[in-house]
């Protein structure tokens, strides 16, 4: 071998050695990655380290909640809910709902779905929401331990999906959560992606056997009426009186301007106070890790079977029909008690004869309301325009065009007007009435809650106007005159 050949050989040897190191290094990295991956999978199967911390909180009776955003409806909304069906009475309920153009929610029992699969199918195909109310409703079984409850939930879910093709996130606890659910039950259901809905008005139709229809209507009519109402009713056998009461119950809410909607995942669930548990049961850490892992696995698996979001949106839009066709109008609803608006920390009171409910929204005298807020109103009779100014907002209520124009300060001065049609705005006995919510929101405030107080027959509204910036006057001083020319 010549010297050239040896050099070549040595070169190969060096290269070979380097390559061997590289391969070894790569192998090592692969092994490392694999072991990391294994550790990760093992952790996912066993649960996250947060599980033990959550266990400690849950064992002390504390709720561990996920942060979830909810939607608040613009108009007062009622969710009618029917439990324990479907039964031979359910078709009559569905007929009434169809006739009234109302969508509701049915919390069904798995065994009833198996007995009446076509009725369950009709519930879903007619645009109502369906929810899971356990398989057999037997408290002793459901609340002896979570494993038994979970089994019934799953069995019912299979029955619902076979009969209707629907997968539902909605759950209602038989007997309600009060005294039956502990923080563990809530936790696993939430981890699994379910939403548990109680109610805030019990029609009393199941208080005892044979409650007459007029008593059911009276119980609902006694309120209290809130911005969002979840009404408990039953469509199981023996509840013919509920079917008889239903048209009156619907009328009652329509007269008060309520919109009807089925429950969905974005409705903030009403949940009763926990109360003293009626059942003796406990969860060991080992069980907890199992339940927590199983509920998360379930959530992941279900994610794949849920409707794609765009289809969900289309469905929701289809079922949210307006309460009334825009052509027909209700007479304004008046009250014996005043309207009290708690605006931040002060109360603004509007006398009973100076406000009313029209088409689902509270109408207030524009000048009285804006001045009580601390703003001003200027009425120009020749143009039939009332200009309201508050903070850095200016609004023009145009009674000629029945439209509201809103001006806000923008980076280059005053922005273009936003135009909002206001068909319900009108002049009554020389007073301009305008919708309270819209006026407040367009002036930069926000309404947190509405409450109808049945005892006083009046409304209470909680509102806030804290987002307001510099006063319009100071803005006017800062801006070039030309920017203000267009808005007089
Ligand atoms: Zn029930």
Q: Which of 128, 133, 227, 234 is catalytic?
A: 234
DSSP code of residue 415: P
Which residue, 123, 197, 114, 119, is CA-closest to 158? Answer: 114
Decide: helix, strand or coil at residue 155: helix
Q: How many angstroms does the Cα of residue 363 sit away from the middle of ligand 1? A: 39
* 136 Cα to the center of ligand 1, angstroms: 9
Q: Can you give the pTM of this predicted structure? A: 0.58
Give the closest residue to 220 by CA, choosing from 449, 451, 454, 450.
454
- Is 392 one of the catalytic residues? no
Regions in the chain scoring below 50 on pLDDT = 1-9, 36-46, 307-329, 467-488
Ordered DSSP codes for 228-244:
EEEEEEE-STT-HHHHH
Please provide the CATH number assigned to the domain covering 339-478: 3.30.457.10
**Which pLDDT value is given to residue 295?**
87
Rounded CA separation 342/344 (Å): 6
Backbone angles phi, psi at 422, to 5 degrees: -130, 75
Ligand 1 centre distance from Cα of residue 174 (Å)? 4
pLDDT of residue 24: 65
The neighbour count for residue 52, using CB atoms within 10 Å, is 13
The pLDDT, as a whole number, for residue 170 is 96
The pLDDT of residue 167: 85
Return the structure tokens found at 206. Answer: 């199941």
> Does the active-site annotation cover 234?
yes
Q: How far is the CA of 133 from the centre of ligand 1 (A)?
A: 7
**Main-chain dihedrals φ then ψ at residue 12, nearest 5 degrees:** -60, -40
β-pair partners for 214: none
Cα–Cα distance, 184 to 277 (Å, whole number)? 12
Report how far apart, in Å, the C-alpha atoms of 430 and of each of 29, 47, 366, 367, 415 are: 83, 68, 11, 11, 31
Mapped onto helix, strand or coil, the DSSP state of residue 321 is: coil
Nearest to 366 by CA among 389, 345, 392, 383: 389
pLDDT of residue 416: 67
299-314 tens-digit pLDDT: 877 765 554 444 444 3
Rounded CA gap, 405 and 89, in Å? Answer: 51
Q: Which of 83, 182, 205, 398 is catalytic?
A: 83
Sketch the domain layout of the chain as residue ranges. 77-305, 339-478
Residue with tokens 């907002």: 393
Please give the distance, rounded to the nearest whole angstrom, from the Cα atom of residue 173 to the centre of ligand 1: 7
Residue of 178, 172, 171 lying closest to 273 (CA atoms)? 178
CB atoms within 10 A of CB 11: 10
The reply to whether 77-305 and 339-478 are identical in fold is no
Q: What number does CATH give the domain 77-305?
A: 3.20.20.370
Q: What is the Å distance from ligand 1's center to 182 Cα?
A: 18
What tokens does 334 get?
């008046």
Within 8 A by CB and 6+ apart from 194, the residues are 132, 153, 169, 170, 171
């Amino acid at each position: 071998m010549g010297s050239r050949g040896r050099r070549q050989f040595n070169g190969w040897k060096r290269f070979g050695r380097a390559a061997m190191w590289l391969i070894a290094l790569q192998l090592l990295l692969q092994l490392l990655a694999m072991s990391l991956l294994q550790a990760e999978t093992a952790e996912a199967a066993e649960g996250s380290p947060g599980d033990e911390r959550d266990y400690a909180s849950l064992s002390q009776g504390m709720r561990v909640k996920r942060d979830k955003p909810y939607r608040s409806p613009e108009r007062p909304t009622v969710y009618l809910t029917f439990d324990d069906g479907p039964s031979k009475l359910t078709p009559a309920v569905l007929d009434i709902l169809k006739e009234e153009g109302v969508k509701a929610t049915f919390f069904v029992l798995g065994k009833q779905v198996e007995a009446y699969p076509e009725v369950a199918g009709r519930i879903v195909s007619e645009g109502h929401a369906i929810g899971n109310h356990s398989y057999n409703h037997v408290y002793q079984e459901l609340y002896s331990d979570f494993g038994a409850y979970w089994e019934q939930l799953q069995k019912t879910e299979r029955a619902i999906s076979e009969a209707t093709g629907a997968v539902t996130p909605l759950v209602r606890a038989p007997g309600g959560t009060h005294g039956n659910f502990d923080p563990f039950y809530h936790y696993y259901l939430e981890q699994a992606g379910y939403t548990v809905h109680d109610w805030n008005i019990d029609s009393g139709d199941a208080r005892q056997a044979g409650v007459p229809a007029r008593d059911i209507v009276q119980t609902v009519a006694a309120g209290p009426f809130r911005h969002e109402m979840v009404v408990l009713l039953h469509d199981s056998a023996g509840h013919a009186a509920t079917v008889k009461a239903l048209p009156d119950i619907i009328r009652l809410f329509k007269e008060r301007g309520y919109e009807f909607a089925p429950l969905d995942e974005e409705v903030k669930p009403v949940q009763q106070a926990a109360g003293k548990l009626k059942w003796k049961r406990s969860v060991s850490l080992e069980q907890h890790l199992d339940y927590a892992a199983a509920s998360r696995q379930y959530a992941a698996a279900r994610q794949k079977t849920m409707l794609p979001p765009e289809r969900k949106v289309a469905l929701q839009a289809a079922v949210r029909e307006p309460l009334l066709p825009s052509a027909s109008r209700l007479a304004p609803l008046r009250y014996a008690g005043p309207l009290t608006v708690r605006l931040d920390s002060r109360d603004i009171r509007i006398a009973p004869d100076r406000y009313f409910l029209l088409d689902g929204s509270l109408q207030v005298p524009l000048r009285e309301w804006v001045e009580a807020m601390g703003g001003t109103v200027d009425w120009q009779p020749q143009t039939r325009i009332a200009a309201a100014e508050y903070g850095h907002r200016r609004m023009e209520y145009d009674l000629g065009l029945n439209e509201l124009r809103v001006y806000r300060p923008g980076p280059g001065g005053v922005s273009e007007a936003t135009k909002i049609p206001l068909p319900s705005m009108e002049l009554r006995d020389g007073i301009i009435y305008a919708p309270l919510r819209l006026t407040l929101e367009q002036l930069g405030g926000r309404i947190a809650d509405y409450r109808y107080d049945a005892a006083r027959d009046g409304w209470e509204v909680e509102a806030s106007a804290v987002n307001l910036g510099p006063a319009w006057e100071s803005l006017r001083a800062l801006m070039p005159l030309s920017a203000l020319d267009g808005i007089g």
